[in-house]
Amino acid sequence: MSDRTPEQELEAFLGPRPPEPLPVEQLGIVVGGSLSEGLTVKLDRNTVIEGLAVGRYVVIRGQTGRRFFSIVTDVQLDALNPLIEKSPPDTSDPFMAQVYGGTAVFGQLEVAPMLVLEPGEDEPKPVKTVPAHFTPVLPASEDEVGLIFGREDEAGFFHIGEPLEMEGTHVALDLERFTERSAGVFGKTGTGKTFLTRMLLAGLIREDVAVNLIFDMHNEYGWKGQTEGRQEVKGLRQLFPGGEVSVFTLDEASSRRRGSRVDAVVRIGYEQIEPEDVDSLSSLMALSDVQVGALYFLRRVLGRDWVARLLDEDDPLAELDTALERGTIHGGTLGAIQRKLGMFRRFDFLGHGVSQDPVRQILDFLDRGRNVILEFGRYGNSLEAYILVANYITRRIHEHYVNRTEAALGTREGEPRPLVITIEEAHKFLDPAIARHTIFGTIARELRKYNVTLFIVDQRPSGIDPEVMSQIGTRVTCLLDDEADIRAVFSGISGAATLREVLARLDTKQQALIMGHAVPMPVVVKTRTYGTREFYAALGVGLSGDSDEDFEQARTLLSGDPQGAEGI
Amino acid sequence: MIDKEFQVGRVLRASTRGFAIGCAVMQPDIPAFGSFVKAELEASGQLIYGLIYDVRVEDDPFVRQFIGANPPDEVVLDQRENRQVPIEVEILAVGCGQGDVIRHCLPSQPPVTLDWLYQCTDEEVRAFTNRFDYFRLILEAREAPSDELLASSVRTAAAARPEGEREAFLVDAGRELVRLLARDPSRLEGILRRLRA
Residues A353-388 as b/e (b if ≥16 CB within 10 A, e otherwise) read ebebebbebbbebbeeebbbbbbbbebbebebbbbb
Instruction: Check whether A317 has a pLDDT greater than 50.
Output: yes
Is A50 strand, coil or helix?
Answer: helix
User: CA-nearest residue of chain B to A82?
Assistant: B183
Instruction: Check whether A561 has a pLDDT greater than 50.
Output: no
B168 and chain A in contact, CB less than 8 A: no
Q: Report pLDDT for A557.
A: 41
User: Rounded to whole angstroms, how far apart are CA atoms A172 and A519?
Assistant: 9
Binning pLDDT at 50, 70 and 90, where does residue A536 land? confident
Q: Which of B155, B169, B171 to mutate to test the interface with A (most CBs of A within 10 A)?
A: B171
Instruction: Choose among B170, B178, B196: nearest Cβ to A104.
Output: B178
Query: Is the ipTM, as predicted for this complex, more than 0.90?
Result: no
Q: Per-residue pLDDT averaged across B95-116, rounded?
A: 90
Q: Which residues of A touch B189 (CB under 8 A)?
A: 89
* Subunit contact B185:A81, Cβ cutoff 8 A: yes
User: Rounded to whole angstroms, how far apart are CA atoms A193 and A218?
Assistant: 13
Q: What secondary structure letter does DSSP report for A343?
A: G
Long-range contacts of A80-87 (CB under 8 A, 24+ apart): A80/A104, A80/A105, A80/A106, A80/B178, A80/B179, A80/B182, A81/B182, A81/B183, A81/B185, A83/B185, A84/B185, A87/B185, A87/B186
Query: How close A20 comes to chain B (CA, Å)?
Result: 29
User: CA-nearest residue of chain A to B171?
Assistant: A99
- Cis ω before A139 (30° cut-off from 0): no
* Subunit contact B178:A99, Cβ cutoff 8 A: yes
Is A98 strand, coil or helix?
Answer: helix
Q: pLDDT digit string (tens) for A438-478?
A: 788 888 887 678 888 999 999 999 988 888 888 888 999 99
* Subunit contact A103:B185, Cβ cutoff 8 A: no
Query: How close A95 comes to chain B (CA, Å)?
Result: 7
- Choose the weakest-confidence range: A39-43, A403-407, A426-430, B174-178: A426-430
Q: pLDDT digit string (tens) for A477-506?
A: 999 888 899 988 888 777 677 788 788 888
* Subunit contact B185:A98, Cβ cutoff 8 A: no
Q: Report pLDDT for A568.
A: 36
* Subunit contact A83:B175, Cβ cutoff 8 A: no
* Subunit contact A99:B182, Cβ cutoff 8 A: no
Binning pLDDT at 50, 70 and 90, where does residue B3 land? low
B4 and chain A in contact, CB less than 8 A: no
